[in-house]
Amino acid sequence: MLGQVSMDRFRALFEVNVFATLESVQVTAKMLVEKGSGKILFLSSMAGISVTP
């Protein structure tokens, strides 16, 4: 399967799944530091791996 996916598609997926997440964490972390407390919780989905009807 990996051989069938273009590098452009991989880059697009990383843009959304990695870089957008990192950017969101950076913005949120800055606000939490200014506030003096807080937590960041990551949630994930298995829907991309195991699809059910």
Return the pLDDT at 27: 96
Higher pLDDT residue, 38 or 44? Answer: 38
Taking 70 as the threshold, does the pLDDT of residue 48 lie above it? no
Higher pLDDT residue, 38 or 46? Answer: 38
Question: One-letter amino acid identity for 2?
Answer: L
